[in-house]
Amino acid sequence: MGAPLIGARIQRKEDYRFLTGAGQYTDDVTLPRQTYAAFVRSPHGHAKIKSINAAKAKAAPGVLAVYTGEDIAAAKLGGLPCGWLITDVNGQPMKEPPHPVLAQGKVHHVGEQVAVVIAETLDQARDAAELVQVDYEVLPAVADVRLARAKGAPQVHGIAPDNTCYVWALGDKAAVDAAFAKAAHVTKLDFVNNRLIPNAIEPRAANGSYSRADDAYTLYVASQNPHVERLLMTAFVMGLPEHKVRVVAGDVGGGFGSKIFLYAEDVVVTWAAKQLNRPVKWTADRSESFTSDAHGRDHHTIAELALDKDGKFLAMRVKTTANVGAYLSTFASCVPTILYATLLAGQYTTPAIHCEVTAVFTNTAPVDAYRGAGRPEATYVVERLVETAAREMKMDPAEIRRKNFIRSFPYQTPVALLYDIGDYDATMDAAQKLGDVAGYPARKKASAAKGKLRGMGYAAYIEACGIAPSAVAGSLGARAGLFEAGEVRVHPTGSVTVFTGSHSHGQGHETTFAQVVADRLGMPIENVDIVHGDTSKILFGMGTYGSRSIAVGGTAIVKALDKIIAKGKKIAAHLLEASEGDIEYANGVFKVTGTDKQKLFGEVAFAAYVPHNYPHDKLEPGLNENAFYDPANFTFPAGTYVCEVEVDPETGVVKVDRWTAVDDFGKIINPMIVEGQVHGGLTQGIGQALTEGAKYDSTGQLVTGSFMDYCIPRADDVPMFQVDTRETPCTHNPLGVKGCGEAGAIGAPAALINAITDALGVKDIAMPATPQNVWRTLNQKKAA
Amino acid sequence: MAVKVSMKVNGKAVSEEVETRTLLVTFIREHLHLTGTHVGCDTAQCGACTVSMNGKAVKACSMLAMQAEGADIMTIEGVAKADGTLHPMQAAFKEHHGLQCGFCTPGMVMNAVDFATRHPGASEQEVRESLEGNLCRCTGYHNIVKSIMAGSKAMAGK
Ligand code: FES
Ligand code: FES
């Protein structure tokens, strides 16, 4: 046996394909007799559609069809469903306005799809889309989360008075009020968690086709979860049986949440493929991505932390208004509630927490899960409060955290979660050491000598990953299960193909999962292939989000491997004429304990497929096993980030000078891949704090609709990162893994804003801390 | 209006009828079916469409196919050796985990090969600045920078 595969920096199996241009992303798929779709989208934030005249477009060269909301209504296509029911404080279900795939009489946000033109070529479709005349009566709009419930605010949907989708609460309000009444100190912050646009570099794309011969559809789509896409589309929108629809999500160029959801375009191209009996392809241009992908965050929050005189946290009170946009996207309702308020304990023993969330509709693109989904917002609340409290009470920010760390596990928080394990001192200690916090004063002096302001900030985050125990999720309103499925197919000569419901769109599952399989079976990694992303190949899958792939999808594979080994032992026992209980399996060999009698894995596999000498009375031939795994609990990755910034007071430019991240992801399969996930997450978090902010004007126009106005970090906006890990293995899955995909984006914004406010000597600064914002803040401070 | 364009792509002479407004990237992807060159923004900001034209990295979404008349174009498909061996820059991206979803990767590699040729021995800061026109949403650039520095060295035979 070679070196162990778990924990090894194995280079990625998928890289050759991507490095040579051989990846197959959705837009790379062109089918015979392909046609192309272009959508006509609303230029207004809020308007009545008085009429649509498509005559010119229909007559344009190459045009095959123009469809509008009327055609969709006539075809009785349903609206896009929301997958999570939130029940409000009065026991009423949330308001769910219809979410049509092509607008019905009214548009509610810029970029909403109003009509589709399908033509022989993309240019013809786009040219003709310009000829579709839509007569709008423009209505007043509301876009700002803080104004949605203002008196006289324009109403987005008639069924949602005050633009309110729900008011929801968690925690013991009386206990919180009592604790605040006797607090020695209260820290209060009032801020907006800025709206973000995910911007995977591959735009969304969908290519629908239909076969009359089989009365069956195939949809190629850039999706993070093809089975969920199929389930939602068939059962809820199109009224089709699932076995008639195949969804293929091949190579996908990043998702970050934005490709979880069922989108209107996916339905339209699939439906239109049957109408035209030809495949219909649509790929978003970047402007369409900006206006029609689901956005993230956009909370207005007032948060308070009550402390005793020694800095012990007594209680936390949080009031949040969350913008859900114009419609409820697939998981919109659970992000600012279940995935947010439950994380407000952070790493601390705060005994009482109460959180009230009001979700509001506005004339903006739908808001849904974006990397971290609720947990970055929660971490921002907790870690900004804690750092601010330390400053106000003249305590060391690391010490105040240590004073309040949870140290005994399992730990039941006052906001529903049961943390199974963690060691927050370990990650804090390591981060301080690796980040050379001791050397900070000298660096601050050196910066001052150059006329620069240096600041340092921490964030000690926690997240709930490995989403999710289905029974718990169901009791909280989930309309789906959240298990994962895997299949291990051993071939007659002993090589293995594994089918997983976890989709990979950058995470490297083809490598990490193969490491797990090869390690368990004791075979070279070259003998293992991982297949994902095609409903016709994979038995089922809930897909990839919530850092769940290794913890839930990986465990399903391990369960299937256990079955393979158990069956292999039975076959080996027969071949070796021994009793099954005496067979052990290690390093690819079935052995009779204490003897040198053995059969290789490949020999056992061969016997299963060429069963001449086989226990037919007890066993079926073949070696192929499935497993579905529903997790017993969430997993709880946690860690500490320390960041140092240097601010130029003349220009307001913030330089992220040092960044140290120490995370506890439990057991790690491939540290190289894990570090990459942390780097990417941190950079998105730095983007939120420093450069990114989606802005709508008061009429609902998106004024940050391109990469020139909406700045995702460039290479010279970020430093080299120092990353390390500590390990407390998860207690309830066999690999001891927790997941690592979102951590960086969760912890980074709070750490960075803590550092910037420290450098500037101010209590708060709004995200993003652009040079103009920083410069203005500094000058306002001077003036004050 | 249709015109005929002729150029060399990955060492092979090609000649096709296209509309005058056809972009170079559309010509490469749709006419030549070389889908390794990607479109991430179509507004000259992301760099996913970067190809080499007469040895220089250019954004194929921002020029017409006609403007490449007679040019020598290399796309990501032409970078590895004929036997499939990776170019040193591609190998460095693999070794240093300089890619995740792979969508920005062809453009990153095309830009990096050009940059390393013109600026051997560039510093980390210079490498970061060379990526101003290439966006990656996955990697946080850390490993891309490492890859380019290593690939640069390997190309210079060091
Ligand atoms: S597609 Fe050419 S720069 Fe983005
Ligand atoms: S690797 Fe995904 S965009 Fe760069």
Query: Is B49 a pocket residue for ligand 1 (Cβ < 6 Å)?
Result: yes
A 107-146 → B contacts, CB under 8 A: 123
Residues B47, B25, single domain; the answer is yes
Q: Residue A522 CA to chain centroid, in angstroms?
A: 33
Q: Given an 8 Å threshold on Cβ–Cβ distance, is A23 in contact with B42?
A: no
d(C-alpha A126, C-alpha A57), whole Å: 10
Say if residues B104 and A201 touch (Cβ distance below 8 Å): yes
Structure token pair of residue A434? 């690796």
Which token pair is A140? 């007043």
Average pLDDT over every residue of A313-330: 98
Cα dist from A482 to A29, A185, A411, A559, whole Å: 30, 42, 23, 16
In this structure, the answer to whether residues A453 and A508 fall within a common structural domain is no
Quick one: average pLDDT of A110-134? 98
Q: Is the pLDDT of residue A124 over 60?
A: yes
Residue A690 has pLDDT above 80, yes or no: yes
Q: Which of B77, B97, B122 is the endpoint of a domain? A: B77
B80 touches chain A (CB under 8 A): yes
Mutation test residue for ligand 1: of B23, B45, B63, B104, the one with most atoms within 8 Å of CB: B45
* CATH number of the domain enclosing A597: 3.30.365.10
Q: Is residue B83 part of a domain?
A: no
Q: Is A577 on the interface with B (CB under 8 A)?
A: no
| Residue A377 phi, psi dihedral angles, 5° rounding | -65, -40
Distance CA B91, CA B42 (A): 28
Compute how many other C-beta atoms are within 10 angstroms of the C-beta atom of residue A88.
18
* Cα distance from N-terminal residue to C-terminal residue, chain A: 70
- Of all residues in chain A, what percent carry a pLDDT higher than 70? 100
Give the gap in angstroms from C-alpha A12 to the nearest C-alpha of chain B. Answer: 7
Q: Is the residue at A7 inside a domain?
A: no
**If you average pLDDT over residues B68-93, what whole number do you get?**
98
| Residue in A with minimal Cα distance to B47 | A201
CATH code, domain carrying B54: 3.10.20.30
Angle (CA) A241 A504 B105, round 5° = 130
SS3 A315: strand
pLDDT band at residue A173, thresholds of 50, 70 and 90?
Answer: very high
Closest CA to A532 of A505, A563, A561, A564: A505
Based on the fold, state whether residues B51 and B96 are members of the same structural domain: no
Q: Which of A219, A202, A209, A208 shows the shortest CA–CA distance to A259?
A: A202
Q: Is the CB of B141 under 6 A from ligand 2?
A: no
Atom of ligand 1 nearest to the CA of B133: 3
- Residue B126 sits in the same domain as residue B150: yes
pLDDT digits (tens, 9 = 90+) for A557-579: 999 999 999 999 999 999 999 99
Is residue A312 situated within a structural domain?
yes
Per-residue pLDDT of A455-492, as tens digits, reads 999 999 999 999 989 988 888 899 888 999 999 999 99
- A382, A504: one domain: no
- What does DSSP assign to residue A331? T
* Pairing, β A113-119 against β A63-68: antiparallel
Q: Convert the pLDDT of each residue in A254-282 to its tens digit.
A: 999 999 999 999 999 999 999 999 999 99
Q: What are the CA-CA distances from residue A150 to residues A147, A162, A321, A642 (Å)?
A: 5, 8, 12, 39
Show which of B55, B77, B99 is a domain's final residue: B77
Amino acid at A759: A
Are B115 and B65 contained in the same domain? Answer: no
Question: What is the predicted pLDDT for the residue at B61?
Answer: 97
Is residue A506 within 6 Å of ligand 2 at its C-beta?
Answer: yes
Residue B16 class from Cβ within 10 Å (0-12 exposed, 13-18 middle, 19+ buried)?
A: middle
Name the residue of B24, B27, B39, B110 to mutate for ligand 1: max ligand atoms within 8 A of Cβ: B39
- Ligand 2 pocket: which of B105, B110, B141, B145 to mutate (most atoms within 8 A of CB): B105
Do residue A738 and residue A667 come from a single domain? yes
H/E stretch holding A511: helix A509-521
* Exposed e or buried b per residue across A664-687, where buried means at least 16 C-beta atoms within 10 angstroms of its C-beta: bbbbbbbbbbbbbbbbbbbbbbbb
Q: Is the CB of B40 under 6 A from ligand 1?
A: yes
For residue B44, the CA-to-ligand 1 centroid distance in Å is 4
Give the sheet arrangement for strand A598-600, strand by strand. Answer: A583-586, A589-592, A598-600
B119 and B139 belong to one structural domain: yes
Cβ proximity of A432 and A705 under 8 Å: no
Pair A273, A303 in one domain: no
Same domain assignment for residues B50 and B92: no
A332, pLDDT greater than 70: yes
Q: What is the pLDDT of residue A412?
A: 97
Tokens 């992220």 sit on residue: A656
ipTM: 0.98
pLDDT above 90 covers a percentage of chain A that reads 97
Tokens of A625: 């096993």
Selecting from B29, B36, B132 the residue whose C-beta is nearest the C-beta of A22 gives B36
Residue in chain B nearest A26 by alpha carbon: B35
Residues A57-75: what's their mean pLDDT?
A: 98
Minimum-distance ligand 1 atom for the alpha carbon of B46:
4
User: What is the average pLDDT value for chain A, to the nearest integer?
Assistant: 97
The stretch A583-603 carries a mean pLDDT of: 96
Residue B134 is part of a domain; what is its CATH number? Answer: 1.10.150.120
Q: Token digits for B2?
A: 């249709």
Hey, are the CB atoms on B140 and A720 less than 8 Å from each other? Answer: no
Distance CA A693, CA A702 (A): 11
Last residue of a domain, one of A593, A612, A629: A629
What does the pLDDT average to over A384-409?
Answer: 98
End-to-end CA, chain B: 51
Q: Are A342 and A460 contained in the same domain?
A: yes
Instruction: Report the residue of A10, A12, A20, A720 to disrupt the B interface, i.e. the one with the largest count of B CBs within 10 Å.
Output: A20
**How many CB atoms neighbour CB A388 within 10 A?**
20
Q: Whose CA is closest to A687, among A197, A322, A190, A224?
A: A197
Residue A187: exposure state from Cβ atoms within 10 A (0-12, 13-18, ≥19)? buried
> B43: pLDDT confidence band, cut at 50, 70 and 90?
confident
CA-based nearest distance A275→chain B, Å: 25
- Say whether both A271 and A124 belong to one domain: yes
Q: Are residues A287 and A301 in the same domain?
A: no
Exposure letters B25-49 (e unless 16+ CB within 10 A, then b): bbbbbbebebbbbbbbbbeebbbbb
Report helix, strand or coil for A574: helix
- Whether A316 and A457 map to the same domain: the answer is yes
What residues contact residue A36 under an 8 Å CB cut-off, 6+ apart?
A: A118, A119, A120, A121, A122, A124, A125, A280, A281, A282
| Residues of chain B by 3-state class (helix, strand, coil), percent to 5 | 40, 20, 45
Q: Domain ends where: A629, A644, A663? A: A629
Q: Kindly give the distance from the C-alpha atom of residue A369 to the centroid of ligand 2, in angstroms, as a whole number.
A: 19
A22 touches chain B (CB under 8 A): yes
Q: How far is CA A206 from CA A247, A252, A267, A292, B123, in A?
A: 10, 11, 9, 14, 41
| Residue A2: predicted pLDDT | 61
Statement to judge: residues A434 and A491 lie in one domain? no
Q: Is residue A520 predicted with pLDDT exceeding 70? A: yes
Whether residue A254 has its Cβ less than 6 Å from ligand 2: yes
pLDDT at A3: 73
Neighbours of A624 (CB within 10 A): 18
Query: At CA A155, angle to CA A150 and CA A161, rounded to 5?
Result: 80
Lookup result for tokens 């002096």 = A445
Question: Who wins on pLDDT, A480 or A422?
Answer: A422
| Any atom of ligand 2 within 6 Å of the Cβ of B138 | yes
Measured at the CA of A238, the angle between CA A237 and CA A241, to 5 degrees, comes to: 115
Q: Quick check: A250 contacting B, CB < 8 Å?
A: no
* A504, closest residue in chain B (CA to CA): B101
Q: Hey, how many other C-beta atoms are within 10 angstroms of the C-beta on A780? A: 10
Judge: A253–B102 Cβ closer than 8 Å, yes or no.
yes
Listed residues B43, B77, B111: the one ending a domain: B77
Query: From the CB of B61, is ligand 1 less than 6 Å away?
Result: yes
Residues A564 and A431 placed together within one structural domain of the fold: no
Task: Quote the domain boundaries for residue A591.
Answer: 483-629
Beta bridge partners of A171: A354
Instruction: Clarify whether residues A711 and A645 are in a common domain.
Output: yes
- A493 vs A476: CA distance, rounded Å: 47
In chain B, how many domains are there?
A: 2
A162 domain residue, yes or no:
no
User: From CA A516, how far away is CA A668, in angstroms rounded?
Assistant: 11
Query: How many domains in chain A?
Result: 3
Closest CA–CA distance from residue B70 to any residue of chain A (Å) = 24
Q: Would residue A108 count as lying in a domain?
A: yes
Tell me the average pLDDT across A687-714. 97
Residues A586 and A670 placed together within one structural domain of the fold: no
pLDDT of residue B106: 98
B118/B150 same-domain check? yes
Same domain, B122 and B64: no
Whether B103 and B146 map to the same domain: the answer is: yes
Q: How far is B22 from chain A (nearest CA, A)?
A: 9
A676 touches chain B (CB under 8 A): yes
* The pLDDT value given to residue B1: 82
Nearest CA in chain B to A673: B97
Whether residue B93 lies inside any domain: the answer is yes
Convert A22-52 into a string of H (helix), E (strand) and C (coil): CCCEHHHCCCCCCEEEEEEECCCCCEEEEEE
H or E stretch including A689? Answer: helix A671-690
Contact between A590 and A599 under an 8 Å Cβ cutoff? The reply is yes
| Per-residue pLDDT at A475 | 87
- Report how far apart, in Å, the C-alpha atoms of A625 and of each of A250, A557, A565, A583 are: 24, 9, 10, 20
The DSSP result for A282-301, as a single string, is EE--HHHHHHHS-BEEEEEE
Digit-coded pLDDT (tens) for A247-259: 999 999 999 999 9
For tokens 């839509």, the residue is: A134
Average pLDDT over residues B48-69: 98
Q: Could B140 and A706 be called an inter-chain contact, meaning their C-beta atoms sit closer than 8 Å?
A: no
Residue A337 to residues A82, A313, A465: CA-CA distances in angstroms? Answer: 14, 23, 15
**Per-residue confidence band for B158, with pLDDT thresholds at 50, 70 and 90:** low
What are the angstrom distances between the C-alpha of A460 and each of A405, A751, B43?
10, 8, 39
A652 vs A690: CA distance, rounded Å? 11
Shortest distance between the Cα of B14 and any Cα of chain A, in A, equals 19
Instruction: Give residues with Cβ within 8 angstroms of A394, minimum separation 6.
Output: none
Is the pLDDT at A1 greater than 70, yes or no?
A: no
pLDDT tens-place string over residues A597-630: 999 999 999 999 999 999 999 999 999 999 999 9
Look at chain A and count its residues: 784
Task: Tell me what the mean pLDDT of segment A175-200 comes to.
Answer: 98
Whose CA is closest to atom 2 on ligand 2? B101
Greatest C-alpha distance within chain A: 90
Q: What is the pLDDT of residue A546?
A: 87
Q: Residues B58, B98: one domain?
A: no
A207 lies in some domain: yes
- Is A762 within the bounds of a domain? yes
Which pLDDT band, with edges at 50, 70 and 90, does A357 fall under?
Answer: very high
Considering the domain architecture, whether residues B118 and B65 belong to the same structural domain is answered as no
**Alpha carbon of A261 to those of A255, A542, A662, A745: distances in Å?**
10, 12, 32, 20
> Residue B115: inside a domain, yes or no?
yes
Neighbours of A155 (CB within 10 A): 17
Query: Is position A188 within any domain?
Result: no
Asked if B30 reaches chain A (Cβ–Cβ under 8 Å), the answer is yes
Task: Find the domain containing B37 and state its range.
Answer: 2-77
